[in-house]
Each structure stands twice: as C-alpha cells, then as structure tokens.
Structure 1
C-alpha cells in the first residue's frame, strides 16, 4: 500500500478564517493518505522487466487475494488441493474489504457490512456457520444469527429538513404527495422481490447469473434507473435522492447512469429469512467486511504472497506461465502451473494476458468507480436535534454517503473517542477525471472537504477531530451501466480460456457485493477441480 504522509498544515487562511481561528478553532488535523498500490501497479504498464531470476511449479496459481481469490483458495483447500500460491499486489489481503485498526477499535477501509443472505445460498450459509455468524437453526430451519454481529440499534438515521430522523427513507418534512410516491415505489419493489420470470427463476436473484432471463425483466437493463422512475411517474425529489443514494452506496453509480435492472436488484434481490432477523437487516463488525476476510483466509493465508505484482499470464502448451515482480526483493520470478485463476478486475486481467482485443473491449465498455474513504478519530461530537448517533449516519443532499460509527458494535459503549468511517463515491464527472482529481488532492484539501460536509450536523467537528486518514480506491468497482448485466460481453469475458485460465471477480457479475465475490471464487474452484490431476 502506498503511503503519502503529509506535514500537518493549516487550512488556507482567509480574513474570516483568521478571526475564527482566534476563537480557538482547530486549524490542522493530522493524518495521511493511503491507497491501493497504484505506483507499483503502474510498473505493469511502464517498466521493462529483466528475465526471471527463479522459476517454480505449482498446481494452482490464484492472482488476487480479495474475496473471490480467497474464496477460490478456500474451496480448493477443502477439496484437498494444497499446492496453491495466491499472488497479491498489496501488503494486505482483502481488496476493498480490507480494514485497519488503532487504539480505539478496528475500522473498515471499504466494504463494511453484508445483508442477511438469501436462504438458498447453501455454500455461503455454510461459510457463515463456520464463522459463527450463524449459531443455530430453529424448528423451521431458519438460521439464528449471532446477536453480536447483527447491527445494534439504533441502526440508521438521516439528517433531513433540519432534524435527524430514524431510517434512511425520507420521511421528516416530506410533503404527503411525495410520501405517497415513496410508498408506491416501495410496494412495487416488494412485487419485484417476489416476482418470477416465465422460466420459473427469481426475476432478481443472487448471484445475478441465477436471475430470470425473461425479457420482461432483462429489458430493464436497456435504460437507467432514473429513466425507469420517470417512466413510472415517480417524480418526487425525495424519492430520487433516496434511490440515487442507494445506487451510489452499493454500486458507486448515480441513478442517472445505473442500469434500471441493477437499481431494482438493489431493492428486490434480497429475500433472506431468519429466526431473529429480517431480509433488510445487516451483519456488521467494527472492521467491516475485514471480519469475513479473516474467516475466509484463516486456512489459506499461508498460500498468500503479498507485494507480488503479476506482469504476465501466458498459455504455453498445457501449462500456464506466470511472471510476477517480487516488490520486496525487486526480482522478477516465474511460476509454471496447469491451472490459473485470475481473481482481479478485468481491466488488469486484459493487460496480463497481453490481449489487445480484450483490453479494448474492457476499456470501451467497463467503467470503474473511484471512491474516497476516510477514518476520522474524534471526541464525542455535538449533535443536532432528533435521533441519536447510529451505526449509519447520512446527510440528505450531501455528495457523500455519510459515515458509519465503527465503534457501534463494541459491547463497551461509553467510549469518549470514536472511529467514524466516511464514504464518498467520486461520481461528479467522468471516472477517469474523478480518479485524477482524487490523487491530486492533498491531505489538507481532503480533510477540509470532509469537515465542511460534516459541520452541517456536527458544528464542533473541526475542534473535536483528532486525526483523519484517507483511503483512495481508484478502481473500487465496476459500474452496472445499461447493457452490462444482460449484455453478452460480461459473460464472454468471464469464460475460461482453454480450460486452464479461469476468472473470478465481481466484474464478472456486474455488481460488487460480497456474495457475488464469494460465488465467483467458488465457481472458479469448481472449474479447476474438473481438470486437476
């Protein structure tokens, strides 16, 4: 992970700021900028490597130690395959589900929860059992979830029209006419949740490849979510804000760009039932989905080689030749294998394969959403009226998604200093421009932007914030724009090459959620098992 530490500098002073500073205003906040190892990753594009200094042979090589790569390794290991190497660019595992920690608590660098899973996801349910997330099943065979991992109350609040309300669906101060539109929308989403296509499959399923291909539903992938709302006479500003918040939250994609199929899937894909939870409930931990990464990796971590930049994947007869740059030792190395799983985004996979047609297809059709995530260490903050501090805290009309309280799940709640994790998908312009601007900003500029946003609800945050650490995700997730989910290219790019190179990543699903990553890895492992000796 690249670290850029900045000297603690004050916010640029203006005449007004100088007056405020004289009233004891805090003028600088310590912290740093972290991010995916883009400078190392760019060696793939820019550096000419010498011949490999060593070579070895492995039965299976997995490229990428995110959810999909770890899931694949776990399933292979359970089938008795142990001659595995997992090559990971970063210093840590987990991809965008990674986490950090400090003296207060753990906290997420990215993904921070999973919803209650659908009951037909047998392998995922089994995994959650081994992780003690599911502790039992009742007489109706419904799972009993660990109370320590179900999000504690209060779960969500929204600052709207000058007050914190319970829940994120706009209610407080919303005109009756618009409330009726919201009610109608939610009723229609319930219908979609229960709907089945003429092929008998759920209209909206997880994994997405299990969804119906009935044209009644697949045609929704030809227009945007905003277009669909307007076509169905949903004009409420509050409803549009809420739907836009949801598509940005799960997909890093504003609703005027997000496929209507993907947008509806957000509301209709979840159908889980439990003895002590509802389909809309969530499972979360101080470290976010880093907890699940720890559980996925506990039996396969010894297979992982971090700081390993893969530079080439090449078919050679019945074998696959993989070159990777050992960043710590500054050496190019070679591995020969008969089975390779590429568990990284398609835009990188195409470059490793040196496939110009694939590179152009991905470049022309796949958009990747950049994100900024900040961990804020702060003393107890002044509150506006209404609901008290919750796990998820959102500001109506903000460009951000608000923040989660990483200390919310701790049993000890009298904590004067907290970790707040702030989320901002960068969707204001083109993704390339957003990415460039994000990397050009200094720590001080990011901190100022965050403080200005949160001062709306916490007037004293500039005085109370002790530290802000920024994490930049340049290519956090593929955006499900129209044509990605039910187009031909997604499945074409996910297809194995000559029964020896397989793909496992949420890119192949079109939406970046934990279950998709888990099943991408499982399916790739199943393909490998067909061909290993």
Structure 2
C-alpha cells in the first residue's frame, strides 16, 4: 500500500463508522427518540479485508502475543500470567476488551452489549469454579462440597416471563392457553432431555458435556450432528406449534441459528449439558450482573494492567524461523507497528485468522464450514411502562412469536425497589435470511430503522413504549457467533483448524468449539496457554 493511500484510509477510520450510519447520529427521525449506533469497529476491521499492508520497519520482542481480547484471549493471558509468563501483550481492535461480552452504562446503570449471564456451572469445571472464586462470585463451599454463590449475583426473582396468548406467564416454557396435547409435547421433550443428561456413550463419557470436546464421541450420538434439530423433533413426533417455537427460540438465543438449520447435537447440547449443583441455587438458575458478562471480563483482566493494547488492528501474523512476527495498526497514531514473539495465540474468529495468516486454504475451509450470524442489540432507557396482565416485570422478558429474543432489564439486579429509570437490553439475531445478506442489510440501515423495529415489537406488550422511551442506542455485531450447523461440531474442519502451526502459532476462540458460551471461550484460552507452558 502506498503511503498516501495509507494515510487517507487510516485518517478515515475514526470517522468512517459515523459516516456509515450518518442518518442515525442522535437525530430524531420518525421515532423521535435520540440515540446512536455504537461499535463494533467494522469500518476499521474491513481494512484488513480490503487492503494489504507493508511490514513495519522494526519488530519489538515479546514472549507471547495474543491477538484478540475476548473471553478466550483474556483467559489465555490470565492463565499465562498466573503461571509466570508475564512478557505478553494482548492486541484488540476495539477500545474496550471483551468481544461480544462487552458492556456499557449510563447514569442509571451499567448494561450489557452482548452476553448477559452464565448458568450455574457444572461442578467438574474446577478451573472455571476457581476463577469464579477469584471473582468473588463463589463465596465458599458447604459441607457437601457444593459452591455457595453470592446472592447478589444469582438472578433475582421474578426471573423470567413469556407473553403468550395475550397474557404474561411465569417462565419461558409456554403453558398459558395450551391444550392437553400441546402440554404433553413439552412433557415428552423434557423427558428426552433428562435421558440425554444422564446418558453416557460407549466410551464412558457424558453424552453431552462442557467443554464440547469432553463429550462422548459415540457414533450413535455423533449421528445427531448430521441432522437438524427439526429433523430430530420430527422423528420424535414433537410437532405442536408451541414446542417448535420454544426450541427455535432457544437455538436462536444460544447459537443465533433457527431450529431447522442447527445441528440436532448442538440443539440437544443446549439443554442436556447443564448439570451444575450449588448449595444455594437450583441447576437452572443463572448468574447475572447489571453489565452482563462484562462483569466477568473485568475479572479476567484484573491482573493484566499494561498488557492490553486496544485500538490495535492486527494486519498479519507470519512465522519467521522459530519466532512469529505480528504486524498491527495503532489506530490512534495511525502507525504500523511490529512484534516478534516466541508464541502467538490467535484468539479471533477463524475468518480473521485466515486473513492474518494469508492462508487461502484455511480461508476456503472457513468459508465452507463456518457461518457467522449478525445480531442487533439495542439498549433502551425507559420510564414507567404500562404492563399487560399476568406475571410482573422480570429480568428476562420474551414475546411469543417475535423475531426477537425479547429484552433483559439491566437494572433488575439493583437492590433498591424504586427505580427512576430502567435500562432494557433488547436482542435480535438476524436469522431471517443468509448471514451474508443480513450483514449487508444491517450495515446499510440507520438508527431510525432499528429504533422503529424495536419500538414496533415492544409496542405489543408495552403500548406506551414510544412515550416512555428516552433514548435508544444500537450495537451491530456483524459476526456475533458461529452457527453450529449439521456436520460442524463433529466434523474434521473444526478439529484441523484448532491445530497449532509450527508449535508457535496457536488458536483459541469459541468458533473452534462450535458453541459460543462463556465456558467454551474460557477453556479455549486455557488450552492454548497450556500449549505454550509445555514448551517453556
């Protein structure tokens, strides 16, 4: 790239996103509600896709460079520092670490921009439980050895509700207005899930476990990865509208993938892999915070001061003899910089890794097998909302039949009863068309479009939503998570893309698990860090 073109492009980084979304800049459109589209830094990130960069003039020596400050990257950095490897740096394009567990806030509360809870952990995840102790989420253990969770972090009651058949019911499993046959479908479904929870494969491993790679590889179970969740439900004659809607809601929630596209193995894993027990929480309880999983990101980075470089766009990763050279763009100074390390952990999605490595074969495998769904997340600041009849306002609020996943109340965990304002975080996986088409549509739309979409959906349950909403901010996640379509979880592509290159370049990301949950990211980081420790 010529110097003049480089200056022109990098000068535009700071303003490219606002220009892209100019119609959404705090201007009142037909929604008459102010707000803006914030992060993620798609305009800067697309420089990696659309342009090539010359190598930096010099390379600074480091023992370990980690590209990506999401859960996997921060988990790897934390583990390395704990084990004495301190000459490390974590590069991330965004100004705030955390990946899709990022968070924001205003005068009324913090709030999530992505992942917003973790279920009560499985008790065999000792490293994860130790981390939660360190974060003071676990306050101790009872005489039976069960963890005691801080009551402030267990989701407060009322936890969740569903608007169905003109009424707010308690819980997200539809039951209000269902006939006997429709209720029987749920009874059968959960009996099957209970069977899978207890089931072990012929290799003696749990049929469904966390991390994914600790699950049984029994062929009878792997066969579930070759069909969709819909096909499996058809085989079980689970046909009612309500059971189909519920499973589709769950697979879109955890995987951003409709039930007729998601692997049946992944769909069952959503339900059957959770087996945690606690002294003061039920197995189906969740741990949450105002800022969602941003709380856990803060805990992961606790001892990483000075080791995280934000606004740093990695442009290439190349093996150089027995070391690795990493080039990156310092967005603030518009300078290309270089690092030379003994090891590099690529804690980024695989389509990014392929571009950084300049590996066309890897890129083709990613294109063939890895599909990344875009999401829209909105944060609304609201006053007192009119409520339909039934279950009162809860932490999680879902509308039957909606394309959205509803909203969570970020202020729900606050202890005060009277709240001047509330922050509601609304989630919409863009699964109505192909990920590529949805991504293009998302980036073309402005703030007014998205605000109107949110308000129209919530008007069904809060008829005064427009009058009571003071601000709507929008986050667009172009590649929020990978979709575990049939053949991915137990396929060869995921396994081969996980393998280190030359013993010096390692990979850690939830797309290598096929399941985008906190625990997978956490253990992906540990796995990569341990490879480095074995060589030091």
* Fold similarity call, TM over 0.5: yes
Does residue 119 (structure 1) correspond to residue 126 (structure 2)? The answer is: no
Q: Give the Å deviation of 1:170.
A: 0.3
Does residue 379 (structure 1) correspond to residue 383 (structure 2)? The answer is: yes
**Equivalent in the alignment of 1:468:** 472
**Equivalent in the alignment of 1:46:** 50
Q: Where does 1:226-375 land on structure 2 (aligned, <5 Å)?
A: 226-375=230-379
In the alignment, the residues of structure 1 paired with residue 267 and residue 305 of structure 2 have an alpha-carbon distance, to the nearest angstrom, of 35
In the alignment, the residues of structure 1 paired with residue 152 and residue 208 of structure 2 have an alpha-carbon distance, to the nearest angstrom, of 30
- SS of the equivalent of 1:398 reads coil
**Equivalent in the alignment of 1:171:** 175
Q: Could you list the per-position Cα deviations for residues 71-94 of structure 1 after superposition, in whole angstroms to 9, with x for gaps in the alignment? A: 000000000111001010111100
**Equivalent in the alignment of 1:454:** 458
Confirm or deny: 8 A CA contact 1:53 1:331 kept in the other structure.
Answer: no
Does residue 157 (structure 1) correspond to residue 153 (structure 2)? The answer is: no
- SS of the equivalent of 1:340 reads strand
- Unmatched tracts of structure 2, length 5 or more: 1-13
**Equivalent in the alignment of 2:515:** 511
Q: Give the Å deviation of 1:51.
A: 4.2
Q: Could you list the per-position Cα deviations for residues 475-501 of structure 1 after superposition, in whole angstroms to 9, with x for gaps in the alignment? A: 000000000100011010000011100
**Equivalent in the alignment of 1:101:** 105
Does residue 417 (structure 1) correspond to residue 421 (structure 2)? The answer is: yes
Q: Could you list the per-position Cα deviations for residues 378-400 of structure 1 after superposition, in whole angstroms to 9, with x for gaps in the alignment? A: 10100000000000000000000
Q: Where does 1:55-74 land on structure 2 (aligned, <5 Å)?
A: 55-74=59-78
Confirm or deny: 8 A CA contact 2:55 2:327 kept in the other structure.
Answer: no
Greater shift, 282-291 or 297-306, is seen at 297-306
Confirm or deny: 8 A CA contact 1:370 1:426 kept in the other structure.
Answer: yes
In the alignment, the residues of structure 2 paired with residue 80 and residue 296 of structure 1 have an alpha-carbon distance, to the nearest angstrom, of 16
Q: Give the Å deviation of 1:445.
A: 0.9
**Equivalent in the alignment of 2:8:** none
Confirm or deny: 8 A CA contact 1:371 1:425 kept in the other structure.
Answer: yes
- Unmatched tracts of structure 1, length 5 or more: 12-26
Confirm or deny: 8 A CA contact 2:59 2:325 kept in the other structure.
Answer: no
**Equivalent in the alignment of 1:527:** 531
**Equivalent in the alignment of 1:9:** 28
In the alignment, the residues of structure 2 paired with residue 61 and residue 419 of structure 1 have an alpha-carbon distance, to the nearest angstrom, of 37
In the alignment, the residues of structure 2 paired with residue 358 and residue 10 of structure 1 have an alpha-carbon distance, to the nearest angstrom, of 44
**Equivalent in the alignment of 1:23:** none
Q: Could you list the per-position Cα deviations for residues 42-63 of structure 1 after superposition, in whole angstroms to 9, with x for gaps in the alignment? A: 1112234344144200000000
Q: Could you list the per-position Cα deviations for residues 185-219 of structure 1 after superposition, in whole angstroms to 9, with x for gaps in the alignment? A: 01110110111101110000000000000011110
Does residue 217 (structure 1) correspond to residue 200 (structure 2)? The answer is: no
In the alignment, the residues of structure 2 paired with residue 328 and residue 434 of structure 1 have an alpha-carbon distance, to the nearest angstrom, of 30
Does residue 80 (structure 1) correspond to residue 112 (structure 2)? The answer is: no
In the alignment, the residues of structure 2 paired with residue 506 and residue 112 of structure 1 have an alpha-carbon distance, to the nearest angstrom, of 16
In the alignment, the residues of structure 1 paired with residue 211 and residue 517 of structure 2 have an alpha-carbon distance, to the nearest angstrom, of 9
Q: Could you list the per-position Cα deviations for residues 292-343 of structure 1 after superposition, in whole angstroms to 9, with x for gaps in the alignment? A: 0000001013200001111111111101111111111111111111111000
Confirm or deny: 8 A CA contact 1:252 1:477 kept in the other structure.
Answer: yes
In the alignment, the residues of structure 2 paired with residue 159 and residue 226 of structure 1 have an alpha-carbon distance, to the nearest angstrom, of 24
**Equivalent in the alignment of 2:10:** none
**Equivalent in the alignment of 2:11:** none
Normalising by structure 1, report the TM-score.
0.96
- SS of the equivalent of 1:148 reads helix
In the alignment, the residues of structure 1 paired with residue 339 and residue 97 of structure 2 have an alpha-carbon distance, to the nearest angstrom, of 21
In the alignment, the residues of structure 1 paired with residue 29 and residue 137 of structure 2 have an alpha-carbon distance, to the nearest angstrom, of 45
In the alignment, the residues of structure 1 paired with residue 255 and residue 401 of structure 2 have an alpha-carbon distance, to the nearest angstrom, of 18
- SS of the equivalent of 1:301 reads coil
**Equivalent in the alignment of 1:37:** 41
- SS of the equivalent of 2:340 reads strand
Q: Could you list the per-position Cα deviations for residues 16-52 of structure 1 after superposition, in whole angstroms to 9, with x for gaps in the alignment? A: xxxxxxxxxxx50000001311111111122343441
Confirm or deny: 8 A CA contact 2:329 2:336 kept in the other structure.
Answer: yes
Q: Could you list the per-position Cα deviations for residues 194-253 of structure 1 after superposition, in whole angstroms to 9, with x for gaps in the alignment? A: 111011100000000000000111100000001100111100110000000000000100
Q: Could you list the per-position Cα deviations for residues 342-385 of structure 1 after superposition, in whole angstroms to 9, with x for gaps in the alignment? A: 00000000010100100111011110010000000010100000
In the alignment, the residues of structure 2 paired with residue 164 and residue 301 of structure 1 have an alpha-carbon distance, to the nearest angstrom, of 46
In the alignment, the residues of structure 1 paired with residue 309 and residue 29 of structure 2 have an alpha-carbon distance, to the nearest angstrom, of 40
Greater shift, 418-427 or 439-448, is seen at 439-448
In the alignment, the residues of structure 2 paired with residue 382 and residue 164 of structure 1 have an alpha-carbon distance, to the nearest angstrom, of 13
Confirm or deny: 8 A CA contact 1:382 1:458 kept in the other structure.
Answer: yes
In the alignment, the residues of structure 2 paired with residue 207 and residue 218 of structure 1 have an alpha-carbon distance, to the nearest angstrom, of 16
- What is the aligned residue count? 517
In the alignment, the residues of structure 2 paired with residue 340 and residue 279 of structure 1 have an alpha-carbon distance, to the nearest angstrom, of 38
Q: Where does 1:428-507 land on structure 2 (aligned, <5 Å)?
A: 428-507=432-511
Cα gap change, 1:50 to 1:486, in 2 (>3 Å) = closer
Greater shift, 471-480 or 523-532, is seen at 523-532
In the alignment, the residues of structure 2 paired with residue 124 and residue 301 of structure 1 have an alpha-carbon distance, to the nearest angstrom, of 22
Q: Could you list the per-position Cα deviations for residues 141-173 of structure 1 after superposition, in whole angstroms to 9, with x for gaps in the alignment? A: 000111000000000000000000000000000
- SS of the equivalent of 2:520 reads helix
- SS of the equivalent of 1:302 reads coil
**Equivalent in the alignment of 2:192:** 188
